[in-house]
Amino acid sequence: MRISATDLSLHAQGRNIVDGVDLQVAAGETFGLIGPNGSGKSTLLRLLAGLDRRARGIVELGGEPVSKLPRREIARRLAMVEQQAETGEALTARQVVELGRTPWLSALAPFGPADAAIVDNALQAVGMKSMAARAWATLSGGERQRLQIARALAQRPRILLLDEPTNHLDIHHQLALLRLVQDLPLTVVIALHDLNQAMGCDRLGVMAGGRMVACGPPDAVLTSDLLRNVFRVGATTLTDPRDDVSLLRFHNLETFNEIPAAAADAACKSRPCRNP
Amino acid sequence: MTEAAIPCAAAWRSRLILRLTLGLAVLVLAVLVGVVLGETPLPPSQVATVLAQKLWGAASGVDPIDAGIIWNYRLPRTLVAAACGAGLALSGLVLQTLVRNALADPYLLGVSAGASTGAVAVTIMGVGAGAIGISAGAFAGAALAFGIVAALARAAGGGSAQLVLAGIAGSQLFNALTSFFIAKSANAEQARGIMFWLLGNLSGVRWPDVALAVPVALAGLLACAVHIRALDAFSFGASAAASLGIAVRRVMVVLLGAVTLMTAVMVSLVGAIGFVGLVVPHAMRILVGARHGALVPASALAGAVFMIAADVVSRVLIPGQVVPIGVVTALVGAPAFALILIRNRSRA
């Protein structure tokens, strides 16, 4: 399912946290959001999920404006995994994933064997099936993160929004998760900090100061100019001789001066992001 | 393992019916015990005869005074105690879940204090006297207190600690207002009655009070039962509930409205009884788990039984004298509250 945003903005606490973002992500595409800390990635994801009533602009899921859809219908189309998820309730791992079935259940359609099978599959997909009976309080940060992703999968959405889902994960589970996300037949918008991981996305959008300053295929976006202006690092492109995939090795810029104003202005000019 | 854990629909339904029947049986038994025990214990056979006579018109040779004690005094008192216990326990459960604070309950968040102020104001001013008028005043006071506490907590940053602190501030404010109203307007006789009622008191309860308390408790139970999945979805907070498809604002309005109504009516009938809303849901979490499908009926039942027991204790603790029921619930509740604080240490 397609997700698109038109002139999406959020003004709060005296500043524009998200500022006039235009975005179109095609059905089945994996779209990466990158940008420095505080650039508005997480807020943009929340706005795409329709979770902030103060937002201005239009978000459409499959061509229908999110503001016109009931929450239950949104939750059937779109699942979101936020960075923070905490509970004081004594839930088991399996019960957390079962919450994902909420938008599909009603008094007439209580939790049944089909739902249990979906929950099993979701637990399996993130490698948590053997820990299903464990209490949430006893799980590590990475295990909790994987459970939240399983919960999102159990929602059986068509669109998946992930906010830095590889945080807290060991390297094995990072790679497994990215592979899982890329193989899902879903539209995925994923905020990532690791630019080398972001290279695996179909397209990337670069956030800076609440605006989307660049958008396109990873090799077209991650230019040395952009890395210098937005991320304030230099980079050398290396090639893995095993499969000829190129990756970035970062280094500090020679000086730690602030970015020259003109370059920053040029970099921060908002550009609409459309499908190629 | 998981396949075995999935009960088929029919088995699940029959288990549900079994549990509901068991729960009702426990409740009926508790009510009977509540009627039998008191300053002058009446033999169960006599109680059964009187009930049979009143309910089914059976013949009865019981002394009319004893029959009057059973039918006009103990039975309505026990039924109101059950309704209050269920209502307060459900209120505490809903507040703890919605505001994600283990210490939330109508008493600590100032809702009970607001209800007391409203009820006292109506009593003293004498506008729209009678149970309904006093309950309406209590509802207005409870809603106002709730609004002020919520706004203050929000203005202070909206955290869990801020909410409890705002609740303390709200309680103090409304308790002071209540004292002010009493000092300014009530005569000595009135003041004594009000002070006694404020501590929690079921002595004056009669049948019209049953007609108010029981429907309100049942309505609150129904509102909770309808929102069981929504309450579960709040485990990870309001934002997570919204992304699970819960219409957060509507659910909040309905459930917090139900809490305010239940608290207001119960306080207006029996005074501000503390700790039931706090302790019962926590005890039930330990017994039946964190899911509201079990927690809602278990809390309602346990609250009802606990309050009947507290009322019986309040009547028999000191022979010839009735201890305010709020004193009994606090004597049990305060140590239980301390246990909850210690248990929560690891999560803080």
The alpha helices in chain B, defined as continuous H runs, are 2-5, 9-36, 44-56, 64-68, 75-98, 111-125, 131-155, 160-185, 188-198, 207-226, 228-233, 238-243, 248-270, 276-288, 292-316, 325-343
Read off the DSSP letter of residue A138.
G
A-to-B residue pairs, Cβ atoms closer than 8 angstroms: 79
Contact assignment for B235 to A89 by CB distance below 8 Å: yes
The larger pLDDT score, comparing residue B243 to residue B196, is at B243
- What is the pLDDT tens value at each position of chain A, 276 positions in all? 999 999 999 998 888 899 999 999 999 999 999 999 989 999 999 999 999 888 999 999 999 999 899 999 999 999 999 988 888 888 999 999 999 999 999 888 888 899 999 999 999 999 899 999 999 989 988 899 999 999 999 999 999 999 999 888 889 989 888 888 888 889 999 999 999 999 889 999 999 999 999 999 998 998 888 998 898 888 888 888 888 888 888 888 765 454 554 555 555 555 566 655
Domains of chain B, by residue range, sit at 84-347
| Chain A contact for B232 (CB, 8 A cutoff) | yes
pLDDT at B184: 82
The larger pLDDT score, comparing residue B162 to residue A97, is at A97
A208's enclosing H/E stretch is strand A203-208
Contact assignment for B290 to A90 by CB distance below 8 Å: yes
Residue B340 pLDDT exceeds 80: no
pLDDT at B3: 41
Q: Which fold has domain B84-347?
A: ABC transporter involved in vitamin B12 uptake, BtuC (1.10.3470)
Give the mean model confidence (pLDDT) for residues B237-255: 92
pLDDT at B9: 60
| Chain A contact for B244 (CB, 8 A cutoff) | yes
pLDDT at A268: 52
Contact assignment for A99 to B289 by CB distance below 8 Å: no
- What single string gives the DSSP state of each residue in B145-177? HHHHHHHHHHHTT--HHHHHHHHHHHHHHHHHH
3-state secondary structure B239-295: HHHHHCCCCHHHHHHHHHHHHHHHHHHHHHHHCCCCCHHHHHHHHHHHHHCCCHHHH
| Residues on chain A touching B246 (C-beta within 8 angstroms) | 71-72, 102
SS3 state at B337: helix
| Chain A contact for B228 (CB, 8 A cutoff) | no
Token pair for A201: 């996305």
pLDDT in tens, B44-69: 888 888 888 888 877 777 788 888 88
Q: What is the dihedral of CA A86, A92, A95, A100, to 10 degrees?
A: 40
Contact assignment for B232 to A80 by CB distance below 8 Å: no
Identity of the residue in A87, A102, A112 whose CB atom sits nearest the CB atom of B229: A102
pLDDT at A261: 47
Domains of chain A, by residue range, sit at 3-87+155-267
The larger pLDDT score, comparing residue A95 to residue B7, is at A95
Token pair for B305: 């039984």
Spell out where A35-164 has E strands. 56-61, 64-65, 78-81, 159-163
Query: Which listed CATH number (3.40.50.300, 3.90.1150.10, 3.30.1330.40, 3.50.50.60) goes with A3-87+155-267?
Result: 3.40.50.300
CA-to-CA separations, B149 to A67, B115, B146, in angstroms, rounded = 31, 13, 5
| Chain A contact for B345 (CB, 8 A cutoff) | no
Give the mean model confidence (pLDDT) for residues B318-345: 80
Q: Which residues contact B166 (CB under 8 A, 6 or more apart)?
A: B110, B149, B150, B152, B153, B156
pLDDT at B318: 82
Share of chain B above pLDDT 90, in %: 34
CA-to-CA separations, B213 to B6, B86, B87, B269, B310, in angstroms, rounded = 38, 10, 9, 8, 18
Q: How many Å lie between the alpha carbon of B101 and the closest alpha carbon of chain A?
A: 8
Mean pLDDT, all residues of chain B: 85
- B6 — pLDDT class (breaks 50, 70, 90): very low
The larger pLDDT score, comparing residue A253 to residue B298, is at B298
pLDDT at B217: 96
pLDDT at A256: 46
Chain length of chain B: 348
Contact assignment for B244 to A103 by CB distance below 8 Å: yes
